[in-house]
C-alpha cells in the first residue's frame, strides 16, 4: 500500500541538512508536558503559541509537534486540560511562519478519512508544503467516551490506523473518481482534489511504541516518534526499526522525546528541576496519567513507571535534558550517535526558556556538525 508520492526534500525528513532534527513538543496544551503547580507553567494561549512558533522559525528549528488531547488529566491544575485543536493550530501557525514544519496530531478513529484528507491538503497548500501529520491510534478511553466511541482491541487500533492512512493516501494520489473497499472503511465514488502541495505529500509520523505500533510505522509512516528509556536501549530500537522498515523496502527516521531545563550552572538547572517536578509537582495528575498509561498503553514498562515517576511530572516521561548548555549539547550528540534522526522536547515555560537554549545550545550543535548554521 506504499504511496508513489514522496515527501518534499524541503519537508523535515531524513534528507534535510540538519543531522539531528529538533522540534518543540506540546505547546498547544496547558502546562505543556510538565505536570507542575509552579505559577510560571505554560498557559498555551494562542498568542503565546504564535510568538513561540515565530521565534522557533527564526531560530531555524525544524518542527513544532502538538499533543492530540481532548480531556485534562485532573489534579490541582487539570494538567493538559486546556488545549488547542491541532490541525487548526498548525494551519494558523503555518500561515504566519516561513520555514518551520508544523505537524498536527490526529486520532485516526475520531476523524472521518474523507474529511481528514481534505483538511490536511488544505493546510498543506496554506503552508506550501510544510505540514506534517502525526497519527495516533488512541489509548485513553476517557477521551473516546467524549465522542461516544469504544476503542478497538490494542492491535486492531493499528490495523484501523493503517487502513485510515491508506484511504487518505489514495485521496492524495488517485485521479478521478474511485471506490475504497477496506475491512473497516468503505468509501464510494470518492473525488479528492486538489492533491497535496507540489506533487508530494505531508510527512507521516506515528507515536506508537508497541510491536503493533512499530509495525504500523515501519510499513506506512516516515517517522516513528517514541519514548527513550536509555541511550543504549534506544540505539538498539533505532537499529531494529530501521531494519524492519528496510525489510518492507522503506526508509524511516526515528525520533525520541525529552524535556529541557538549561541553565548557566548544573546546580541551577538541577535545583529548578527538583523544584518544579518534585516539590511543586501536580502528583494527582501524574498518578492519573500513569494509571491510564498502565491500562491503555504498551509503550512503557511497569518498571519504567516505578523508576521514573518524577519524569512524568517533569516532561510526560520524556528524556531529561537538564544541565548547562555544554551538558545538553553533549547529550544531544549522544542521541544522534544512538541513531535518532530527531528529538522533540518541551520546557516548563517555552517562551521564557527557549531563547537561552537557542542562544547557547544551538550554536554548540552547529559547531559539533549536528546542525547547519542559521
Ligand X SMILES: Cc1cc2nc3c(=O)[nH]c(=O)nc-3n(C[C@H](O)[C@H](O)[C@H](O)COP(=O)(O)O)c2cc1C
Size of the site for ligand X (CB under 6 A): 20
CB 209 within 8 A of CB 227: yes
Contact window for ligand X (CB under 6 A) among 35-43, 88-96, 120-128, 134-142: 134-142
**Cβ-based burial of 233 (10 A; exposed 0-12, middle 13-18, buried ≥19):** exposed
Closest to ligand X by CB, 256 vs 281, is 256
Q: Which of residues 41-100 bind ligand X (CB under 6 A)?
A: 67-69
Indicate the helix (H) or strand (E) that contains 355: helix 350-367
Closest to ligand X by CB, 196 vs 227, is 227
Q: Tell me how far, at minimum, the Cβ of 139 lies from ligand X, in Å.
A: 4
Closest to ligand X by CB, 161 vs 196, is 161
Closest to ligand X by CB, 225 vs 259, is 225
Q: Is residue 324 close enough to count as binding ligand X by CB under 6 A?
A: no
Q: Which of 213, 253, 258, 342 binds ligand X (CB under 6 A)?
A: 213
- Could you give the string, one character per residue 225-254, with x where binding to ligand X holds by CB under 6 A and - elsewhere? xxx---------------------------
Q: Which residues contact 344 (CB under 8 A, 6 or more apart)?
A: 22, 23, 24, 25, 63, 65, 225, 255, 257, 258
Contact window for ligand X (CB under 6 A) among 1-9, 39-47, 136-144, 170-178: 136-144
Contact window for ligand X (CB under 6 A) among 35-43, 46-54, 135-143, 330-338: 135-143
Contact window for ligand X (CB under 6 A) among 133-141, 173-181, 191-199, 357-365: 133-141
Q: What is the DSSP letter of 17?
A: S
Q: Tell me how far, at minimum, the Cβ of 168 lies from ligand X, in Å.
A: 17
Q: Tell me how far, at minimum, the Cβ of 278 lies from ligand X, in Å.
A: 22
Q: Is residue 257 close enough to count as binding ligand X by CB under 6 A?
A: yes
- Could you give the string, one character per residue 183-212, with x where binding to ligand X holds by CB under 6 A and - elsewhere? ------------------------xxxx--
SS (H, E, C) 62-86: CEEECCCCCCCCCCCCCCCCCECCH
CB 249 within 8 A of CB 3: no
Q: Which of residues 279-298 bind ligand X (CB under 6 A)?
A: 297-298
Q: Tell me how far, at minimum, the Cβ of 317 lies from ligand X, in Å.
A: 8
3-state secondary structure of 213: helix
Backbone angles phi, psi at 92, to 5 degrees: -65, -40
Q: Tell me how far, at minimum, the Cβ of 136 lies from ligand X, in Å.
A: 4
Cα–Cα nearest to 195, from 161, 170, 212 = 170
Q: How far is CA 307 from CA 62, 226, 302, in A?
A: 32, 18, 9
Tell me how many degrees the CA angle 286-272-44 measures, rounded to the nearest 5.
60
Chain residues in the site for ligand X (CB under 6 A) = 67-69, 105, 107, 136-137, 139, 207-210, 213, 225-227, 257, 297-299
Amino acid at each position: 500500500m506504499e504511496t508513489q508520492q514522496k515527501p518534499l526534500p524541503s519537508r523535515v525528513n531524513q534528507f534535510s541538512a540538519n543531522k539531528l532534527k529538533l522540534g518543540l513538543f506540546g505547546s498547544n496544551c496547558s502546562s505543556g508536558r510538565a505536570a507542575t503547580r509552579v505559577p510560571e507553567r505554560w498557559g498555551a494561549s494562542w498568542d503565546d503559541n504564535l510568538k513561540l512558533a515565530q521565534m522557533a522559525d527564526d531560530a531555524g528549528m525544524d518542527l513544532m509537534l502538538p499533543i492530540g488531547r481532548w480531556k485534562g488529566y485532573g489534579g490541582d491544575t487539570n494538567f493538559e486540560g486546556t488545549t488547542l485543536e491541532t490541525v487548526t493550530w498548525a494551519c494558523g501557525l503555518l500561515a504566519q511562519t516561513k520555514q518551520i514544519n508544523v505537524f498536527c496530531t490526529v486520532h485516526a478513529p475520531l476523524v472521518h478519512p474523507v474529511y481528514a484528507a481534505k483538511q490536511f491538503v488544505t493546510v498543506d497548500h496554506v503552508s506550501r508544503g510544510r505540514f506534517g501529520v502525526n497519527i495516533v491510534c488512541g489509548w485513553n478511553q476517557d477521551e473516546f467516551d467524549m465522542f461516544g466511541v469504544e476503542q478497538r482491541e490494542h492491535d486492531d487500533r493499528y490495523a484501523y490506523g493503517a487502513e485510515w492512512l491508506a484511504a487518505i493516501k489514495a485521496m492524495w494520489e488517485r485521479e478521478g473518481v474511485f471506490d475504497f473497499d477496506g475491512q473497516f472503511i468503505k468509501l464510494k465514488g470518492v473525488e479528492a482534489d486538489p492533491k497535496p502541495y507540489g506533487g508530494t505529500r505531508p510527512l507521516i509520523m506515528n507515536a506508537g511504541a508497541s510491536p503493533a505500533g512499530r509495525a504500523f510505522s515501519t510499513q506506512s509512516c516516515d517517522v516513528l516518534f517514541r519514548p527513550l528509556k536509555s541511550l543504549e536501549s534506544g540505539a538498539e530500537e533505532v537499529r531494529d526499526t530501521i531494519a524492519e522498515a528496510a525489510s518492507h523496502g522503506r526508509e524511516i527516521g526515528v525520533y525520541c522525546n525529552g524535556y529541557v531545563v538549561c541553565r548557566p550552572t548544573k546546580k541551577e538547572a538541577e535545583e529548578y528541576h527538583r523544584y518544579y517536578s518534585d516539590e511543586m509537582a501536580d502528583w494527582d495528575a501524574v498518578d492519573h496519567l500513569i494509571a491510564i498509561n498502565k491500562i491503555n498503553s504498551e509503550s512503557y514498562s511497569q518498571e519504567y513507571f516505578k523508576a521514573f515517576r518524577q519524569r512524568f511530572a517533569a516532561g510526560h516521561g520524556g528524556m531529561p535534558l537538564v544541565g548547562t548548555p555544554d551538558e545538553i549539547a553533549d547529550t544531544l550528540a549522544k542521541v544522534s550517535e544512538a541513531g535518532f534522526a530527531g528529538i522533540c522536547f518541551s520546557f516548563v515555560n517555552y517562551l521564557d526558556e527557549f531563547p537561552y537554549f537557542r542562544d547557547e545550545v544551538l550554536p554548540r550543535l552547529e559547531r559539533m556538525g549536528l546542525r547547519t548554521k542559521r
